[in-house]
Structure 1
């Protein structure tokens, strides 16, 4: 019986090892990823799954720990080689045999990247927010779309991990003893002195100094870097809506990054380059849930009717406009087409749309041909006399003497 149990455990062991998520997959990396890519993946994912950002979410907390474990292994060249050859079990044996334990505390690791004691603490010093404006075509507000944009900002140096030191070592400042501030005395009068607290001029208020400055950041601990972000434009989002990316503003080892605030704006309409992307709807005007379109008709069409127009909407579907024969269109007439406006954002009862308002503009000819003019005048006079129409009187204007 004992032998059977031992064999069962041995058979299950490979399955348990396989159940652990692959470190590369966990960080979203290829197996040939370099150190820079590994650090970047850890930075993004650790912020996303940090327990303080996901309270009462056990799966996010476990993910945060797993991400730290994956980074710890892959960033170490020796441990990464062991993992590539022998997987999770090889890493465990290496750690046990070398007395390394199971890696760094996840919060200590997070702290080395972002500062702040490894937590997004309330009352903790926080940097200023950044605001950017992103313009997208009206079509994206109608159909919804995923956008990618880049922001240049201050980032913690990945080479020295924010220490400013080539070897990772910082020495306590000899002048301020690590306080970052010094007390200076100033004599106001004989025997009368004033004490003032000032920033240490040796360490610049940091409390520590560096012998061998990092070659990438020059000891500044931060660099300018371009970061890529994804923005989901939802159907019917209002123009000017704000999207907030927490703790994605300028970074520093001394404070928690502020928020990146994105203002989503509608760009001015322009003709699409590709024929398949061209729609009449490109030149729609929007107000809240309503869309507005100006349709131009000729004098004959306005007077006689008997026409049909196909209006290509923002997503490519066709809205049909028409008038029957003898149906007159008055200049400035507004036709309301229900359900052809903008989607109503986050509508509780499912998809719902506003209305499309079509304004008809009648274009008069500059000059009529003589035969056409004579024929038109004859028909008009015959109709006017039959109906007893007098334009002067029917206008309702008061009589007055000509000057």
Structure 2
């Protein structure tokens, strides 16, 4: 029976933090879950191995005893009575009390799980004779699934019903207005099935918002470039601006400079799950020059320039 390296099974270092172990386990569980790999015996075996490794490394007491025990694997194998299911204290003068509860033959220091290997059962399940071989009766939560949902900026602005397909299953959901790029929501019970009556895992949906040529988003605020003719900038007047909530008219003061920024309160992005609250829309005015001037237009511009020789 080979020694099992649980750290290697999860692809983590022996100094890995609990959060790193949890993250590695979830990633591998999703990758090798039988529901994701039907009729794949290799994936099924890998799934059992990572569950066994997680059972030990995610529990501080189990992990501590495993770390102590691993270095003495070969020595343990050489002791009379050191195999599976023998129930007695290993002999040969080697003190195994440090690996048992209370320092004596009192119970199973690693607890009971399910679908564990003979290695786990013989070395952890029956040490001291007080434990029993792990069985498959304890409920366990199913793995979480992950999915991505791509949307336009306008779709994210309005929200509404969408359908997403996960593992061949169509799931209809209603998206609240204002979701952000990279934001993840969690849907309970929509992940992998639980074991032995345990709860289903969750479905984690990450939103990917496509860039929009008209708007730049910063939090709940939007910035929009608005082209304005030089004549309207000089003389002032009304300018129609298209926003995500519809057209609005703004008034420009005479002699409005190029690059002027205007703020439209409440015309930005909806604040996620806060009904009636919106960010602001910032308008950046870009003056446009007339093209393909006629001879008469050129003459008039020359007359205007002559009135202001220091600026010509």
Q: TM-score, normalised by structure 2?
A: 0.49
Q: TM-score, normalised by structure 1?
A: 0.39
The structure whose RCO (Cα within 8 Å, separation 6+) is larger is: 1
